[in-house]
Amino acid sequence: MTLRIDLGEKLDTAAVPALQAQLRQATGQPVQLEGGNLRLLGGLAAQMLLAAACRWERDGHRFEIHPSEALCDDLRRFGLDAVLLTQEPPK
């Protein structure tokens, strides 16, 4: 069963510990991150998403992000869109 995690509206340094705890609890199962409402992605949060995606891939589990347009833009700015995004935001 896929665990869904809501990323909220702002994923900055202050939000990283809570998301990190959720991801730690989800280790070993498929994860779907709901980023449809996200308006801001900070650098530390982007690094954490990349590290988590790499771990999930290494462990053979699905790691999926459902992005907002703003999240796509921020990931593109960090150069991580091709690595982390498997789908486009809804229009």
- pTM metric for this prediction: 0.90
Domain spans in the chain, listed from the N-terminal domain onward: 3-21+29-84
14-17: long-range contacts at Cβ-Cβ below 8 A with a sequence spacing of 24 or more?
15/45, 16/42, 16/44, 16/45, 16/48
CB count within 10 Å of CB 16 equals 16
* Predicted confidence (pLDDT) per residue in 32-74, tens digit: 999 999 999 999 999 999 999 999 999 999 999 999 999 999 9
At residue 89, does pLDDT exceed 70? no
Contact of 21 with 48, CB cutoff 8 Å: no
Q: Which CATH number applies to 3-21+29-84?
A: 3.30.750
Contact of 7 with 35, CB cutoff 8 Å: yes
How many percent of the chain have pLDDT more than 90? 89
